[in-house]
Amino acid sequence: MLDIKEIRKDPKAIEQKLKTKSPDVHLHHIMALDERIRGLKADVEELKSKRNASSKEIGLKKQRGENVSSFMEDMGVLSEKITVRDHEIAQIEQELHFALACLPNLPMDDIPVFPGPEDNVCVKEWGEKRSFSFPFKNHVELNEKLKLFDFARGAKISGSGWPLYTNMGARLEWALINFMLDIHRKNGFTQIMPPLLVRPETMFGSAHLPKFESQLFKIKDEDYQLYFIPTSESPLNGLHAGEILDEHQLPLKYTAYTPCFRREAGAAGSQERGLIRTHQFNKVELFCLCKPEDSPNIYQQMLDSAEEVLQGLGLHYRNMLLTTGDMSFAAAKTIDIEVWLPGQNRYYEVSSVSNCTDFQARRSETRYRSKQDKPHFIHTLNGSGLATSRLMVALLENNQQEDGSVLVPKILHRYLGEEITKLTPSK
């Protein structure tokens, strides 16, 4: 959430910058609400001053034995006016809070200003695209013989978009998850196992509410109002909600594996089949809380840790700095890590590493105190480290052999058993 005090300083400049992310943003309503609140608060202060003066005068009159009934009536009128104004202020403040909650985060000054992903900037490439001397297959075609997933039975159980992993598919998925967690723990991230359902205020804190309400799965009945997490960023951001941390505790670096749940499962078509985009997928998340001056360094650490996974697996990837128009709602800066998927003939994102500055911290009231100074809002950063579904696709498609088998990267052998060096078609 943005600071109304900062908006107040130069609303035109703030609006112009916000429009680079969301062209429909306007601040005139917010500024009108803010002005109305300040006007009402000034009225209340004046009324309270009058009431205090009247109270003193009534006290003096009582000491002199004078009749104060008319003054008491005036005091009652003043108190009633104050109550009415306070109620009006509370209502308008709630409206202002909601309006501010709908504003995206401000992009950093060095982010390319363009409306969409076609102008994202490649800032790094690693490895090379696999070249094939035979007609290669996509992961759905490979799976016809490998039997790693059963999309039909997954759909029978839950509907389309809910994958079912079987046998070596399930084992390879767990191998990937454990491999990634090992890397991130080695790099100083503390492993967390958070709940998969969270309260509305937790979703609000991570900025998934109110804007993305329609994209979330939820439980809403007489006993519970909970949301299935779209990413473990949500509960990790909520870990220290409402707390004032000591600066010596920072930075806090977390990693977590969770299933993730999202309503939007992509458009129909050959490029979105199989594991490319689903309602449920597995992801290892990176999440950090730090002092503002440390966030650039922490950002690079997160990016390096995510890249280490892909380098260990020997997969070609590129890092794309997102334009203002392609960044997420809460991000001030994002680099997407994209792997090459031969079967789709394009790059697909397996990680987004974002610096959210103090945007989420304001929503979740997460602050830190430096020595005897007043509390300051913390910076939060998040990144996938990585999402496994597209990573699985990349492994299968890039490591396929002419006979339909798939070589397993050497670094995963110890997670599967040293004898499993490749996946072979079922007879």
> Per-residue pLDDT tens for 79-99?
889 999 999 999 999 999 999
CATH homologous superfamily of 117-423 equals Bira Bifunctional Protein; Domain 2 (3.30.930.10)
How confident is the model over 21-32, as pLDDT tens digits? 999 999 999 999
**Distance between CA atoms of residues 408 and 49, nearest Å:** 77
Mean pLDDT, residues 191-196: 98
Looking at residue 270, its pLDDT comes to 43
pLDDT of residue 427: 64
Is pLDDT of 269 > 80? no
Whether residue 142 has pLDDT greater than 80: yes
67 vs 128, which has greater pLDDT? 128
**Cβ partners under 8 Å of residue 365, min gap 6:** 241, 242
Q: Is 125 a catalytic site residue? A: no
pLDDT, tens digit, 9 for 90 and up, residues 342-363: 999 999 999 999 999 999 999 9
Catalytic residue among 352, 354, 364, 389: 352
Cα distance between residue 228 and residue 219, in whole Å: 8
Q: How confident is the model at residue 268 (pLDDT cuts 50, 70, 90)?
A: very low
pLDDT band at 78 (very low <50, low <70, confident <90, very high): confident
Q: In whole numbers, what is the pLDDT of the chain averaged over residues? A: 93
Active site residue 130: no
**Given this model, what pLDDT does residue 207 score?**
97
In DSSP terms, 380 is beta-bridged to 289
Instruction: Out of 171, 277, 362, 367, pick the active-site residue.
Output: 277
State the average pLDDT over residues 114-132: 96
Assess whether 262 carries a catalytic annotation.
Answer: yes
Local structure of 62: helix, strand or coil: helix
85 is catalytic: no
Tokens representing residue 209 in the block:
């509410």
The CATH architecture annotation of domain 4-101 reads: Orthogonal Bundle (1.10)
pLDDT exceeds cutoff 60 at 238: yes
pLDDT in tens, 146-170: 999 999 999 999 999 999 999 999 9
Mean pLDDT within 197-204:
97
Decide if pLDDT at 4 tops 70.
yes
Q: Which of 338, 384, 390, 397 is catalytic?
A: 390
Helix (H) or strand (E) holding 145: helix 139-146
**Do 240 and 365 touch, CB atoms closer than 8 A?**
no
What are the domain boundaries of the chain?
4-101, 117-423
pLDDT of 267 above 80: no
- Three-class SS of residue 196? coil
CB contact at 8 A, 274 and 140? yes
277 is catalytic: yes
Active-site residue, from 171, 232, 233, 262: 262
Percent of the chain with pLDDT over 90: 85
What is the average per-residue pLDDT within 420-426? 89
* Residues 274-315: tens digit of each pLDDT: 899 899 999 999 999 999 999 999 999 999 999 999 999 999
57, 349, 365, 405: which is the annotated catalytic residue?
A: 349
Query: What angle do helix axes 388-398 and 168-186 make, rounded to 10 degrees?
Result: 110
Residue 265 banded pLDDT, cuts 50, 70, 90: low
More confident residue, 381 or 277: 381
Comparing C-alpha atoms, which of 327, 356, 292 is closest to residue 112? Answer: 327
CA atoms within 13 A on the CB side of 237: 33
Task: Evaluate if residue 43 carries a pLDDT over 90.
Answer: yes
pLDDT digits (tens, 9 = 90+) for 319-331: 999 999 999 999 9
